[in-house]
Structure 1
Amino acid sequence: MSSRTQFESGLDKFNRVKTGTNVGFHLIFIVLSLLCLIPVIVVLSISFSSEDSIRNGGYHIFPTAFSGEAYHYIAQQGKLISKALGISVLVTVVGTVLGVMLTTSMGYVLSRPNYKLNGFLTWIVFIPMVFNGGLVSSYYINSNLLGLKDTVWALILPLAVSSFNVIICKTFFRSTIPDALIESAEIDGSSQLRIFFSIVLPISLPVLATIGLFLCFSYWNDWFNSMLYIDNQDLYSLQALLNSLMTNVDALAKNASVMGISYAQLVATMPKESARMAVAIIIVLPVAIAYPFFQKYFISGLTVGAVKG
């Protein structure tokens, strides 16, 4: 057998192995995608199922008895749902903007090699990634020392800055922003604030989108801070309302006076299981719609900030 024939045979074998490997990886990712997608389909199916079919037949991938009763019921609770939705939107928007500004500014400062406190502050930022003061100390500081109890700020400030996000920003700025660019701006007489806002941020869209998405997801999905710090139901977020629904089927019944109907009538007519799932769909939908528009920046920013050192 000539060397050319051997080469072609080996190349053909390599292509077959490569094709088989690609098919295997595609099948694995299809299975993983289905495992992620099926729970969402089940939740959607339950939200469009009648309460009787859920009670008698349990959960199904497709509704056995289609019903829009849950969404109709939620629409009837417009005042309660809209108030919770407004709190969620407010907290998410304000918290994301504030968190991005604080995180990127801190990451930029730590990324400058000539900053004298660089090493010390880097350790200060890094230590909370490994150790934390615990829930009791956090609650005491936020509630008693800062007086955030029963305020919107209790839902915003505790999540605004995280060590992980700061490290991502620091690594991104250090590996992406040339020192010569900063030095030339300093020679021209620009202040550090002007350099940061006019030069650094406009060329840092990937990391801004990455940190923004992290914060947006954290704020939008947060219910734990509401449970800790919020007693006033007027400050409940949509996620806190969903948590109340999941732990207490009478959560909406506590607001019977607001809706002008009796407690007994509300409990009797409330579509309990389907209403829970309908609220879950309402919560997931905005994030699912927004994510594809930021996916490109998210992947590039996370890759650069986490891999390059």
Structure 2
Amino acid sequence: MAKKKFHISYGIIHIILILLAAVCIIPLLLVVGISFTDEQSLMSSGYNLIPKVFSLDAYKYVFTGAVSVGRAYLVTIVVTVAGTAGHLLFMSMLAYGLTREEVTARNKISFFVYLPVLFNAGLVPTYMLFTRTLHLKNTIWVLILISIASSTNVLILKNFFSTIPKSLIESARIDGSSEFRTFFTIVLPLSKPSLASIGLFVAIAYWNDWLTCSLYIETPKLQTLQYLLQSLMNNIAYLQANAGASASLEAAIANLPSESARMATCVLAVGPIIFLYPFLQKYFEKGLTIGAVKE
């Protein structure tokens, strides 16, 4: 068996990829290291990948706030899971319907689906819709329904469904399969790459969304993680800006793990969602390339 020849171009490509991976990984490791570093050591020694003085003060400060971080985690997880599942279900059903020739009004429906890509009503009409018409303010439903639809994702799924052989669907119909059964047992299993890719992007959007909570939620028990962490950072910035107002406030600021707390919030924010990548990475290339090609 002949050995494969080594080309210098392969080595250059590997070096470039290693450098790009290091550029992405090292800042993340630095944030984690800073979050576990004592504040005084951080001010005197600067940033280090490995903490010189290990401390959990930043995480203690974050988890002992006025609003429970655990409850905010629960709200965010529920919103992310429910919103992503609902988004994939409704958008895939709509996209599948637009690929069926039996739907006589599919061209007209497609026009109304793609119209929001060109024209967006804006924040004020959206706010009036969810508060005055649907009366969803201060409910968990507004956090879920705000991103339940996307015209772009319908287009990607529609193009992906168009690649499924029509003979397969016709064979299922001849065997007596209903449209719902065909959709859930044949079409969706074949569409795992596209669904996984879109699902991850939608889940990240739900997880990182803080604006919706700031606009529609006033009840502390429904605050999401991102909104809570941003409020925490705003409180730290306010205390630092007004440190000279009184001696007691200045003393409290001196013991405040401000910089390490900022990094701790970053770790808490990106930690859970980053674990989805290894499970869905294998679907990315196929899902995005096939779904993005227009026939």
Same-fold call, TM cutoff 0.5: yes
Q: Distance in 2 between matches of 1:168 and 1:96?
A: 16
Number of the residue aligned with 1:290: 276
Give TM-score, length-normalised by structure 1: 0.81
Number of the residue aligned with 1:305: 291
Flag the structure with higher helix content: 1
Question: What displacement does 1:24 show?
Answer: 3.1
Question: What displacement does 1:67 show?
Answer: 1.7
1:248 aligned to 2:254? Answer: no
Give the number of equivalent residue pairs. 282
User: Equivalent residues in 2 for 1:1-309 (5 A)?
Assistant: 19-77=7-65, 80-175=68-163, 177-249=164-236, 270-307=256-293, 309=295
Q: Distance in 2 between matches of 1:286 and 1:300?
A: 25
Q: Distance in 2 between matches of 1:284 and 1:239?
A: 10
Q: Distance in 2 between matches of 1:289 and 1:167?
A: 28
Secondary structure of residue in 1 paired with 2:60: helix
Number of the residue aligned with 2:246: none
Q: Distance in 2 between matches of 1:78 and 1:285?
A: 22
Secondary structure of residue in 2 paired with 1:249: helix
Q: Distance in 1 between matches of 2:82 and 2:74?
A: 12
Q: Distance in 2 between matches of 1:130 and 1:173?
A: 23
Give 2:182's aligned amino acid.
I
Greater alpha carbon shift after TM alignment, 203-212 vs 162-171: 203-212
Rg: which structure is higher? 1
Contact 1:112-1:174 within 8 A present in 2 as well: no
Give 1:23's aligned amino acid.
G
Query: Quick one: structure 1 residues 251 and 91, their matched pair in 2 at CA, closer, same or farther if it must change by over 3 Å?
Result: farther
Query: Quick one: structure 1 residues 143 and 133, their matched pair in 2 at CA, closer, same or farther if it must change by over 3 Å?
Result: same
Contact 1:250-1:267 within 8 A present in 2 as well: no
Contact 2:67-2:220 within 8 A present in 1 as well: no
Q: Which digits, 9 at most, give the CA deviation of each residue in 1:107-140, with x for residues without a partner?
A: 1111223422222222222222233111222222
- Alpha-carbon RMSD across the aligned residues, in angstroms, is 2.7
Question: What displacement does 1:207 show?
Answer: 2.0
Greater alpha carbon shift after TM alignment, 159-168 vs 273-282: 273-282
Give 1:284's aligned amino acid.
V
Q: Distance in 1 between matches of 2:255 and 2:218?
A: 27
Query: Quick one: structure 1 residues 59 and 131, their matched pair in 2 at CA, closer, same or farther if it must change by over 3 Å?
Result: farther
Unaligned runs of 5+ in 2: 240-248
Percent of residue pairs bearing the same amino acid type: 44
Greater alpha carbon shift after TM alignment, 278-287 vs 21-30: 21-30
Give TM-score, length-normalised by structure 2: 0.85
